[in-house]
Each structure stands twice: as structure tokens, then as C-alpha cells.
Amino acid sequence: MRAPERVAPQFPTEHFFNRELSQLRFHRRVLNQAADKKVPLLERLRFLCIVSSNLDEFFEIRVSGIKEQIRLGSRGVGSDGLQAAELLDRVSKEVHGIIADQYELLNAEILPALEQEGIVFLRRSLWNEAQRAWIKDYFDREVNPVLTPIGLDPAHPFPRVLNKSLNFAIELEGRDAFGRDSGAAIVQAPRALPRVIRLPKDISDHEYTFVFLSSVLHVHVDQLFSGMRVLGCYQFRVTRNSDLFVDEEEVKDLRASLKGELQQRHFGDTVRLEVADTCSEKMEAFLLQQFLLTRRDLYSTPGIVNLVRLMQVPDWVSRPDLTYPSFLPGIPKGLDKKQDMFAAIRRQDILLHHPYQSFAPVIQLLRSAADDPQVLAIKMTVYRTGSESVLMEHLERAAQKGKEVTVVLELMARFDEEANIALANRLEEVGAHVVYGVFGYKTHAKLLMFVRREEGRLRRYVHLGTGNYHPRTTRSYTDFGLLTCNEEIGDDVAEVFKQLTGLGQATTLKHLWQAPFTLHRNVVAAINAEADAARAGKKSRIMVKMNALLEAETIEALYAASQAGVPIDLIIRGACALKPGVVGLSENIRVRSVVGRFLEHHRIFMFHAGGEQKVYLSSADWMDRNFFRRIEVAFPVLDQRLKRRVIREGLRAYLADNSQSWDMLEDGRYRRRASRGMKRSAQLMLLSDLATNS
């Protein structure tokens, strides 16, 4: 079986919303969490920072892609029919609105509320003498020695500015020791310097008093330009194209080629300029010219230009009353630290629901396997796992003990490339086999397999998941993981690993749906089967939960099912190109988005299937890239008990949510669901049912 040649079918453009504009609506919903007074105050600040982090990536990848289309003169359009130039104008307008609302919320609500709680970000105009003296000493000791002011003249051209780095544009008057009077200089803030500095308690009137590095530098910038007059000092920050490109026809060694690309990521084409709103028009025009940007690409901020730097503040402040209540992830019944994990899996399949239930059983299983003389081989896919992962330590130990350890490592996992290259080096040093999947297809499937000798035969144990093998994100992302020794599923997983490490045609899998071979075809077929059942007067139902719904043919199949009378509920966290509730097209489709404490990350597909209620869990969203340009799997939940759990915990709980749920309207806007009667929050319910209060 070969990957199908993809010829995208054409459908009416009025059937689809634009991906980028839909994604920006998701960022609006996150911003609403920051505005919600029912959310703990420090968590509101964190949500505000998440909006900035999300927008950074949006510009680095999505906006840079739109600009590249314009640069190449592409007249191609997406399913929605928008031309690139028109889309860029609409994106710019929407993002300017988001940022204006974001800073209004920060300055008018969140900072004053924090000050009332004794958490103060002190403006430089309010520093007292003791604070000025301490900050002066701090500047002299910690800041000034690592700064390199660059005067702009023919011998000192405009410096290369790192992606998303903090910089200052300085307007000057006068001549220096050499008679130069260019009138401008750039000061780059080294990344090693903290952007937020806490003042000692003995010179503070509050429990927590912070000052910004930008304020410290503003006050002392004249020390960098002795004898000259500083007319203005303005923060600025540029965002660059951060997508990586490796030519499939030219590359001989993916890891070596990727290292070369990573060195240039910080200096890709500029796509956005952020400046403090105090910046003069003259300096704005100068910076735009240097970065080859237009006024449309300029974002003026009434405050620090990088709110992401405030993300750590909630962790620095010991105020549990201003954060979400802590909890201990639960452990499924029958499992404990002394439990023989292999024996537990032989008794029955085990479903883990993160973050409400702990990821520890997976770590425990890998730890046991590394030390178990009966385990002969371990195979694992790695997309994101973190730079200091306990899972990788167990894999290294297993390899050192002589086990056959094979890791399919995705080098092109966006923004984790450097960490994954370092991980590859570590694993190879201890004798593990490290491969990089299939060039041209990202390996996004989450698979872990153990081969163990038992009673004279070999048995496979597998873990399949909807999320990454990343212990940190399992505490904040909602995901399912399945532990099983089902023989047929084990055969399927082994076959996928064979494809990833070797050569040969793909064979037909017994249970798994696999991209790029069968996943799209089977999803569309399952949707069509529900439509056929509805036309025949039989009961039908589709419930789906995922991060994004964008692939046109799948959306058209859902439209056809809706027209046949199939009730369809879609829980889509982020971008959704489907238009729900349109008479004659999609009146039987409801779309909702849930945004809360945890990042919704499961992918769940449920089809009524004549009463069988087929349930699949997956690493894949219904997007072109997941169906056709990635190696993904969707795996069935065969145990009836666990299937009921997935439907109850992963679907019905969210459909009943009237606290953190947003209904998508037919024009693409979202309306927060009203709480009629008893308030229901899926996340709070699952915390109560599955986790343990600390």
C-alpha cells in the first residue's frame, strides 16, 4: 500500500471559514479567560501571557506563510477563497484589535487588582530614593557590563536583531569623541538578563515588588552614551519567519541539514514590529524601513512589548489564594507503585485520562521494562518529550543494559528541534537505534511498545496516546492514553514501527487507522455510513472532539451527513472551517469550544455504527497535514467498560458543559454558553471524579 496521491477536491468556497481568522477567534476566547473575574487573579495574568505566546507563533508560522505567498506572487487560495493580500489585511486588523484589548485589560484591570493584593509592577516615576539606589547598583553590577550599545553610522550598520529579542532604539543629540553625530543607536538586551526583577522586601512597601528591565535601562541609558543627550529610548521587538525548510531532493543527512537551518531561524524574514507607544514617529518609520515592513505590520503597545516575560510571575508569587487549587493526579484502581505493570495490563486494558489521572504508570512501566530481564526490546516514537525527560533516562538505561531500544525521533517537531537533536545524540551514545521516520512525513503518532518473553513466547505490550510523551504537559493538557496487550493491536503497532524503521509496502492493519494510508479514507467512510443509516431511517450519531477541523472533503462529508439527518456534535478547541447551523447545509451540526484551566488536547471520534458505538482515539486532527503529510494513528477502544468511560469523560461531559463552553455561530463568531440552572464544568467534574485534592 502506498501513500495516496493527493488531489484536493474543489468545493464551494462559501462552505468554509478561513483557518487563520478562525484561529484568531480562539485567541480571543483565551483572552476572555483573562477577562473573566471568576478566574483566579494570577491565572488571569497567565492567560494574558498565553495570548501573547500564541500570537508569537501565529506570526512566526501562519503570517509568515501568508507573506511568503504574496512575495512569490501566488494566486492560490484556500478552501475559503480568500486571496493572500486580502487575508493579510484582515489578519492585521483583527490582531491589532486583540492587542488593544489585551493591554487595556492588563493596564486597567489586572495590574491594579494585583497591586491591591500586594503584587506591584513599579513604574520608574514612582521609585523612591532607596529603590533608585538599589536599582542603580543593580544596573552597574548586572546589566551594564553585558550591554553593547551600537551607534549607527557607515562603520556600524544596523545590527542583526534576533527573533523576539528585546531591543532599544535610542535617539541621540550631539557628537561623540570621534565627531560622529548619526543621532541613533541600538542597544540589544542579552537574553541572559531577566526581564522582570524583584526588589528586596526591605526597600518595598509591598510583599512583591517588581520592576521591568526596560525601566531599569530607560533610567540609566545615558550612561551608555557619555557626553551625549538622549532624546528618546524606545523598546522594540521583531518577529521573524520561524518555519524551517529542508529540501527533500538535496538533503543527504537530515540531522546535519536541520542543524544548519536552525542556525538561521533567529534571522528569518521579519513579519512584525512591536514598539512601545512612546516611540516617536520618526523612529517608527526608521525601524520599519530597516526591517522592510509597512505600517500594517507595526504594533504599538502601551506597556512592555513582550508580555510572555510575565508568564513566570505566578510561579514566583506564593499566593495559593490567587491561583487554581492544587491537586494530585489520580491513579486508576488496582495500580500502585509496587504493582507489576505487565501483570496489570494482562488482566485488563488500562485507560489513563490526563491530567486528572497520573502519567506515572507509563513512567513506571518504562522503568520496569528497563530493569526487567524478560523485556527484550523497546520501541517508541518521540515528538516532544522535553529536554530533561525521565522517560529518556529509562530508555538510555535500557540500552545500556543491552536491550534492543529503537526510537523514532521526529527532528522536525516545531520549536523542539534542538532538544530532539540533543536527545538523538544521547541515545546513540548508549547504543540505542535512532531513526527519523520517513522523510517528508512528520511522525506524529504516539506509540510505545515492549516485547517481553513470557512462558516460552513473545508478547507485545503497547501504550498508545493522544498526546506527547512529555511529563510536564501531561499535567496541563487533556489527553487519553491506553495500555494494552491485545495481540492484534500489538501486531498493528509492530507493523507501523516496521514502516518507520525499514522499507517495504504498507500492509493492511487489523484495527489501527493510519495516515497517510487509511485514516482519511476510514474517517470519511465512517461519516458516510452514519449518513446512510439516517437515510434508511435508522439511528445515527457522530460525536467528535479535536483541536482543529479544516480538511475540506471531511467537512463536506459532515455536511452531507447533516443533510441526511445525522445529529453531529463537534467539540473543536481551535480553528474550525466548518459552518454549523446553516439551513439546508448543516442545521444538524453543533460546534462548541471549551477553554479552561487545562488545554483541551484529546482527539476522540465516536460513530453510532448501528449501536456498536465505535470509539477511536487519535493523535490526529482532521486537517490536511494530519491526513496526508504526517504519520498518525487512530486506535479503537475495544474494552466496553473503557469505551463508556471515553464517551462519558471525553464527550458527554463537554457537551453538558455550560461554564467554559462556547457555541460557534453560523457566521463564525462564538457565543459563551449561558449557565441555565446548575453550572456544569467538564474540567471541574473530571477533577472531582478522577483526581485527588492535595
Residue 472 lies in a domain: yes
Cα 247 to Cα 52: distance, rounded to the nearest angstrom: 32
* Banded pLDDT at 378 (limits 50, 70, 90): very high
Closest CA to 594 of 543, 555, 547, 558: 547
Concerning whether 444 is annotated as a catalytic residue, the answer is yes
pLDDT digits (tens, 9 = 90+) for 289-302: 999 999 999 999 99
DSSP 503-534: -SPPPPPSS-EEETTTHHHHHHHHHHHHHHHH
Does the pLDDT value for residue 95 go beyond 70?
A: yes
pLDDT at 250: 42
Pick from 322, 345, 373: which residue ends a domain? 322
* Banded pLDDT at 155 (limits 50, 70, 90): low
pLDDT at 486: 97
Tell whether 258 and 243 lie within a shared domain: yes
Tell whether 535 and 619 lie within a shared domain: yes
Under DSSP, is residue 364 helix (H, G, I), strand (E, B) or coil? helix
The one-letter amino acid at 560? A
pLDDT at 308: 93
Cα 474 to Cα 323: distance, rounded to the nearest angstrom: 19
pLDDT at 262: 45
Tell whether 538 and 570 lie within a shared domain: yes
Does the pLDDT value for residue 215 go beyond 70?
A: yes
Tell whether 478 and 581 lie within a shared domain: no
Pick from 322, 342, 366: which residue ends a domain? 322
Backbone dihedral angles phi then psi of residue 149, each to the nearest 5 degrees: -70, 135
pLDDT digits (tens, 9 = 90+) for 549-577: 999 999 999 999 999 999 999 999 999 99
Residue 149 lies in a domain: yes
* Banded pLDDT at 431 (limits 50, 70, 90): confident
Residue 634 lies in a domain: yes
Other Cβ atoms less than 10 A from the Cβ of 229: the count is 10
* 8-state DSSP, 311: T
Least confident of 138-152, 326-340, 438-452, 538-552: 326-340
Percentage of residues of the chain with pLDDT beyond 70: 91
Beta bridge partner(s), residue 287: none
* 8-state DSSP, 674: P
Tell whether 498 and 520 lie within a shared domain: no
Question: What are the C-alpha distances in Å from 73 to residues 8, 77, 79, 84, 140?
Answer: 21, 12, 18, 9, 51
Cα 26 to Cα 62: distance, rounded to the nearest angstrom: 14
Burial 444-477 (b: 16+ CB within 10 A, else e): bbbbbbbbbeeeeeebbbbbbbbbbbbbebbeeb
Least confident of 158-167, 460-469, 637-646: 158-167
Cα 55 to Cα 213: distance, rounded to the nearest angstrom: 22
pLDDT digits (tens, 9 = 90+) for 230-265: 999 999 999 998 774 444 444 344 445 444 444 554
| Domain region containing 559 | 514-693
The one-letter amino acid at 182? S
* pTM score of the predicted model: 0.92
Of 27, 444, 602, 608, which is the active-site residue?
Answer: 444
Tell whether 521 and 634 lie within a shared domain: yes
Residue 393 lies in a domain: yes
Cα 398 to Cα 376: distance, rounded to the nearest angstrom: 10
pLDDT at 467: 92
The CATH number for 465's domain is 3.30.870.10
Tell whether 650 and 631 lie within a shared domain: yes
Under DSSP, is residue 377 helix (H, G, I), strand (E, B) or coil? strand
Residue 6 lies in a domain: no
Residue 286 sits at the vertex; the CA angle it makes with 281 and 289, to the nearest 5 degrees, is: 125
Least confident of 171-185, 374-388, 623-637: 171-185
Tell whether 659 and 541 lie within a shared domain: yes
pLDDT at 251: 39
Residue 1 lies in a domain: no
Domain count across the chain: 3
Least confident of 342-356, 412-426, 470-484, 629-643: 412-426
Residue 490 lies in a domain: yes
Alpha helices in 317-359, H assignment, sequence order = 341-347
Tell whether 592 and 459 lie within a shared domain: no
Residue 689 lies in a domain: yes
Cα 161 to Cα 240: distance, rounded to the nearest angstrom: 10
